[in-house]
Chain A
Amino acid sequence: MTKKIKLSELGNLFGGLDVQALEGVKIEGDVEIDLGQMGMNPQMAYALGHETAQLALHLMNISRILGYPVDQMLGASPAKPARLTKLIESKFSVGKIEEWKTPIQEVVLGATSSDGGTRKSTITLGGETALPYYFDSPMPHRNHITMDVFDMPINMAKAVKSNYEDVINSPAEWAKKVVRDFGADMVTIHLISTDPNIKDTSPAEAAKTVEEVLQAVDVPIVIGGSGNPEKDPAVLEKAAEVAEGERCLLASASLNLDYARIAEAAKKYNHVVLSWTQLEINAQKELNRKLMKQCNVARENILMDPTTAALGYGLDYAYTNMERMRLAGLSGDAELNFPMSSGTTNAWGAREAWMVSSPLKEDSDWGPREYRGPIWEIITGLTLSLAGNDLFMMMHPTAVQVLKEITQTLYGGKESEPVNIDNWVGAVL
């Protein structure tokens, strides 16, 4: 408030203020005073409230100039901080992010009979126009989870293995179990026995396993190779053929193998390609570009996996890598605005997830490992979900259940039980 006032006008105002102590002060002359520049006397402010206090203060100052003993009259003491008698009213508001103009590509996995497949339902990923769960705009599709099934028994952490002992020799039964008992949205069949260093199963043999899994469950599936760059293209090609029309996710095309052959199989048999790179944003752009421009894979048939590192083992890179890609995509980078997938199972590589106890004597007790493993998988996945990851490849049923609960809560799909959070301070827990 900045008001100019003439000393000659002060007389009138004076009467309105109930400041007896100042009565009798005579003010003469016609000097202009700026009533907004000077600080407030806290004592007066406290007594009178904000508006009138300022005026009174100036009267006091004037009086002082005129030689009137104001300070003695008020019993002035060293300045105390201001006190308020009521809260300053205010409204909070914040804007949306203008740069987020480009939606993430929508990708459909699975095909029903009306689209040439045999799945009972399909899953749509992508379509976001903001970071996940942000108020700027709602996420069009929730996160989804695909659970791992292997075509042969493998080494697993004890806490994981105990869930699969009854189905470990049958990929079809294993697939049924994760859908029926553990709530998997999808199933990933990993054809690891095809690795020449493991069993060297032929592509034709491996394709049979894929057919069995497709018959055992009616959810969309992911077909994974063994990770052997020489063998994978042939394995995925054959698998794509027997799964024709099902819109499976072929995992994966990468820069260190014949990605064109995998892209070709996806186009020919109507599948989606998983574009996999290792924690390198430029490599991801390059591979996506090659798939689009050189192999002519349509945008709606590309998903990307920029690599998942476990909590404590490089998750900082994996997280920031994904967050940067998602921000770039939303801001218009057409080489990066694809939905993302995470190999969340990698969390089990962390020794904290599976070791009986810490190998270091200086560490506090690590406690029972059966509780450590699932939470390691949950937090690894959750962190990446906040960076923009859409699809999670997972392994432990408890981890799946909890990750679903939190991602669907942040998505807006869960109701709250009434709870009085003001009470936490005095709560008996």
Chain B
Amino acid sequence: MKLNSPLQVYKYLPQINCAECGDATCMAFAAHLIDRSKKLDDCPPILKDEYKKKYLELQALLAPEIREITIGTGEHAKRIGGDDVLYRHQLTFFDPTAFAYDVWDTMPEAEFLERINRIANFRKFYVGKFLKVDMVAVRCVSGDPLKFAGAVKKASETTKLPLILCSFDPAALKSALEVVRDKNPLLYAATEKNWGEVAELALNYKVPVVLFSPDLDKLKSLALSFREMGIKDLVLDPGTYPQGKKLKETFEKFIMLRRAGIKEGQKDIAYPIMAVPLNAWLVYKDAVTASYWETVLSSVFTVRYGDIMILHSLEPYAMLPEVHIRDTIYTDPRTPVKVAPGVNEVGSPTKDSPVIVTTNFALTYYTVESDLSSNKINCYLAAVDTDGIGVEAAVAGGQLTAAKINDTFQKANFDFKDKTSHGTLILPGLAARLQGDVEDVTGLRVMIGPPDSGRIPGWMEKSWPPKPK
């Protein structure tokens, strides 16, 4: 965005401090616009006609350096691009890389449907949410526009995920667009050869489109030309070479494009970038090797500026690291990763339920909490305020101590005599060395749980309820 202080934004706001946006003052709201935690439309007064000019001006000034485009419709629609910085610590990255997995029009129907469902149903629990994948890329392998359209139709009936229509043949793209014209799919791709006809499709059907050329002069040429024709929702594919010096060149192209867009403000190429890690399969035939290498490529381009990518392997050992590295890079470094300290109920605990201690580091807390609830273990779970540090480091660093544990229960008015029949507290295995201290400070009986909360169910079977003294 072109503004960098709340004061600059403030000039454009109504300056009436009506607080309708949820902030007490326009200046406070301005600060949220700068850090992008709120949107201009959150201020109702500025939407009125009298402010129209300022609204439009400010909207243009607040627009991210990299164009933000939307693929798909409804709740599964995905935004890509939208970035303002080259390094995540400078603000945060926006719009996590969209992962599309492929299907193709020559697949037997049952396989085709099964594959789409696997893509749509993939989920991995992490820090209070599920990591998922985003899109289905339908490839035209048959070369037959009707067959392709049939596959696209089937895909759109099977899933609400956004679709990418992949063919270099405008006739195939056209017949597919006919069946999903109201679904805002992404067209792949316009090239030096077919650009005129693909541009026509993008205009007529009002859909976003990928431009493909490994030659950056040509890629820019395509982008300029499409923009001139009034097509703004563009994605750039500079070609993903899967190997060797050509892969190094691909890596360099991603850096060049993004640097030009963000650091040098070259609007002509400031569009989302597409990577195709699937190309690993063009050089490696063995499924494990290809899946590994595809995951490697996917990670490289998640870290360095890929906004959307097309992938093939549905092996869990490929998808799990892929969704985790994306979360790693796109997690907002400004957000504290803590949960509120306190004693929480998991399920519906009774007097005989265990009382378990962990830290308020969000990752630890949610991991333990989900391990418990997923295994239907009713209990009390205490989040001790360790400044958001995990168990092992907090024991070493003195943030998790007997006094702090005792404090947590007292502040929560949790009386063991009242709430439990057993007067027992369970420490994490990694905090075993606090056992004596905690017994002394709390006067409770203290048991040591397993070092990983994933093993609590097994531990419960062996060790709970505690044997009478």
B316 near A366 with CB under 8 A, answer: yes
B312: which A residues are within 8 A, CB to CB?
Answer: 429
- Say yes or no: is B171 at the interface (Cβ < 8 Å to chain A): no
Instruction: Convert A300-316 into 0s and 1s, putting 1 for each residue whose CB lies closer than 8 angstroms to a CB of B.
Output: 00000000000111111
Contacts of B252-307 to chain A: CB distance below 8 A: 252, 255-257, 259-260, 264, 266, 268-269, 276, 278-279, 281-283, 288, 292-293, 295-296, 299-300, 303-304
**In the complex, which residues of chain B have a beta carbon less than 8 angstroms from the beta carbon of A324?**
87, 89
Q: Does A375 contact B (CB under 8 A)?
A: yes
A383 touches B243 (CB 8 A): no
Q: Judge whether B228 is part of the interface by a CB distance below 8 angstroms.
A: yes
A422 to B166, CA, bound (A): 12
Could you jot down 21 A-B contacts, CB within 8 Å? A82-B230, A83-B199, A84-B199, A92-B269, A95-B264, A314-B390, A316-B333, A320-B88, A360-B125, A363-B123, A374-B292, A378-B296, A379-B324, A383-B328, A402-B296, A416-B244, A416-B245, A419-B242, A419-B279, A424-B278, A425-B140
In the complex, the 9 A-B pairs of residues with the closest C-beta atoms, listed nearest first: A416-B244, A367-B316, A359-B454, A371-B317, A92-B216, A81-B230, A94-B260, A416-B246, A360-B374
Q: A424 to B245, Cβ gap below 8 A?
A: no
Q: How many angstroms between the C-alpha atoms of A287 and B247 in the bound complex?
A: 38
Residues of A within 8 A of B170 (CB): none
Asked if B47 is at the interface of the complex by the 8 Å CB criterion, the answer is: no
Are the C-beta atoms of B300 and A410 separated by less than 8 Å? yes
* A interface size (C-beta, 8 A): 74
In the complex, what distance in Å separates the CA atom of A382 from the CA atom of B251? 14
Query: Per-position contact with A for B43-62: 1 when CB-CB < 8 Å, else 0?
Result: 00000000000000000000
B318 within 8 A of A: yes
Which residue in chain A gives the minimum CB-CB distance to B397?
Answer: A278
| A141 within 8 A of partner (CB) | no
1/0 contact trace for B197-238 toward A, CB 8 Å? Answer: 001100100000000101011111110110011100000000
Q: Does A12 contact B (CB under 8 A)?
A: no
For residue B59, give the distance in angstroms from its CB to the closest CB of chain A. Answer: 22
Q: Is A3 an interface residue (CB 8 A)?
A: no
User: Inside 8 A of A72's CB, which chain B residues have their CB?
Assistant: none
Of the candidates A82, A363, A375, A414, which one forms a contact with B243 in the assembled complex, judged by CB atoms under 8 Å apart? A414
CA distance A374 to B315 in the complex (A): 14
CA separation between A427 and B141, bound complex, in Å?
A: 7
B239 at the interface (CB under 8 A from A): yes
Decide: A313 and B363 in contact? CB cutoff 8 A.
Answer: yes
A375-B295 contact, Cβ under 8 Å, with A87-B222, A315-B328: yes
Residue numbers of A with Cβ under 8 A of B are 81-85, 87-92, 94-95, 97, 133-135, 278, 311-316, 319-320, 323-324, 327, 351-352, 355, 358-368, 371-372, 374-376, 378-379, 382-383, 386, 402, 406, 409-412, 414-417, 419-429
Within 8 Å CB of B214, what residues of A?
421
Contact status B317-A419, CB under 8 Å: no
Tell me if A's interface is mostly helix, strand, loop or mixed: loop
A161→B88 CA distance, assembly (Å): 37
Q: Which residues of A contact B303 (CB under 8 A)?
A: 319, 383, 386
- Give Cα distance in the complex from A314 to B391, angstroms: 13
Q: Known: A323-B89, A327-B87, A421-B282. Contact between A382 and B317, CB under 8 A? A: no
CB-CB under 8 A from A426, the residues of chain B are: 139-141, 143, 167
Q: Is there contact, CB below 8 Å, between A84 and B321?
A: no
Q: Are B220 and A311 in contact (CB under 8 A)?
A: no
B378 close to A (CB within 8 Å)? no
Q: How near does chain B come to A196, taking the closest CB pair, in angstroms?
A: 14
Q: Determine whether the beta carbon of A135 is less than 8 Å from that of B229.
A: no
A333 CA / B89 CA spacing, docked (Å): 18
A252–B452 CA distance with the chains assembled, in angstroms:
27
Given contacts A359-B374, A409-B247, 19 further A-B pairs with CB under 8 A are A83-B199, A83-B200, A83-B229, A87-B195, A95-B259, A135-B256, A311-B324, A314-B390, A316-B88, A324-B87, A358-B125, A359-B455, A375-B318, A378-B295, A383-B328, A415-B245, A416-B247, A419-B243, A427-B282
Q: Give the residues in chain A near B122, CB-CB below 8 Å.
A: 364
A328 to B126 Cα, complex, angstroms: 32
B window 357-408: CB within 8 A of A: 363, 370-371, 374-375, 390, 393
B261 closest partner in A (C-beta):
A94
- In the bound complex, residues from chain B placing their C-beta under 8 Å from that of A92 are 216-217, 219-220, 256, 260, 269
Per-residue A-contact encoding for B90-130, CB less than 8 Å = 1, 0 else = 00000000000000001000000000000001111110001
**Is there a chain A Cβ closer than 8 Å to B339's Cβ?**
no
Q: Once the chains bind, are A87 and B139 in contact (CB under 8 Å)?
A: no
Nearest to A364 among chain B residues (CB) is B122
Q: Which A residues are in CB contact (< 8 Å) with B195?
A: 87
Cβ of B245: which chain A residues have Cβ within 8 Å of it?
A: 412, 414-416
In the bound complex, what is the Cα–Cα distance between A311 and B167 (angstroms)?
35
A382 touches B452 (CB 8 A): no
